[in-house]
Amino acid sequence: MAFRHEPVLLHEVLAILQPRPGGLYVDGTVGGGGHAQAILEASAPDGRLIGIDQDDEALTASKERLTRYGGRVTTVKGNFRHIKEILWSLGVIEGVDGILLDVGLSSPQVDEAERGFSYRLDAPLDMRMDLSETLTARDIVNSWPEAELARVVRDYGEERWAGRIAKAIVKRRQRQAIETTGELAELVKEAIPAASRRHGPHPARRTFQALRIAVNDELGALEEGVKGALDVLRPGGRLAVIAFHSLEDRIVKRILAKEARSCICPPQAPVCTCGRRPRVRLIGRRPIVPGPEELARNPRARSAKLRGAERLAQE
C-alpha cells in the first residue's frame, strides 16, 4: 500500500510555526511528508527541515515525496522522544526555529492489515510503529497479568468495561493463545454488555487504542518529546502539537501550561521569592480543531486538537 496521509490542520499548523526563509524546522513525525512539504514551501528558498519518524515505511514515503528539495531536507529514523539527542547527533547545537509533533496514527498504518492496528481488518496482533522493537500487542494480550491488562484498557482506552474485558482475555488465553486482531475484536465485543454496544463506535475501539499506546509507550514518548522540543527551540521558536485523543491532549496542555507560568510561590506569600519566569507564551488558550470543510474532506481528522507555544528568551 502506498503511504499516503492527509496532513491534518495544515494551514493552522503553518499559522503557528510561521516558517520563513533561512529557518530550521523539525517535523518529529514526518509520516508521508505532507506537513513537511508545506513547511519547506513556506520557508523557500533556503529554509531547512529535519524529518524524524520511527516507521520505516513512512520514512521511505517522505524521502520520495521530499526528494525535490535536495539538501534542504534531512530524514532520520528515530522516536521524537529523543529529539534532543537526534539534533545533537546532527550537529544542531544552537536550536531550531520550529517543531511539529503530529502524534496521531496515520491512515496507512490503520489501513494496512499486516500492521495489526485495526479492529476491522483481521491480521496478526502487532501494533508496533517501529518494527525493530520487540514488544507486540500479542505479547501483552497473552502474557500480562489480568490486573495490568485491566489497568491498561481502563487508563489508556478510557474503557468502563476494562475489568470484564481483561477477565475475558485471560479466560480465553488459558485455552489457547489469542493470535489475531479479529479474534481479539470479537472477544472484546462479547465481553461488553449488549446494551452498551448498540450505539457509538465499534466496541473494541478503546481496547485497541489502549494496546497500541502500551505497545509503543506513546504517552511516555509524548511527555518526553514535548519537554525535549521546548529545550531545543531558540527564543522566538515555535512548537505545534496535534493530539488525537484526550489523554494526549491533557499531557500537552499540562506541560505547556506549566511552562507558561511565572510565579509559583504559595498564594499566601506577600511577595514573589521564587523569581520564576515563564519559558513559553501560549498561542491561544483553547486547542484549534478542524473546521467543517476539513472534516468533510477528511473525517479521520474529527478528533484532532492543535496546541501551540512560543519559546521566550530567558534573561
Q: Residues forming the annotated binding site for S-adenosyl-L-methionine?
A: 33-35, 53, 80, 102, 109
E strands in 17-117: 24-27, 48-53, 73-77, 96-102
What type of residue sits at position 1? M
Is-contact 298 34, C-beta < 8 A? no
- DSSP reduced 3-state for 281: strand
- Helices 10-17, 34-42: axis angle to 10 degrees equals 40
Binding site members:
33-35, 53, 80, 102, 109
- Residues with Cβ within 8 Å of residue 301, at least 6 apart in sequence: 6, 8, 9, 290, 294, 295
- DSSP reduced 3-state for 306: strand
As given in the structure block, the three cell numbers for residue 208 are 485497541
What type of residue sits at position 126? D
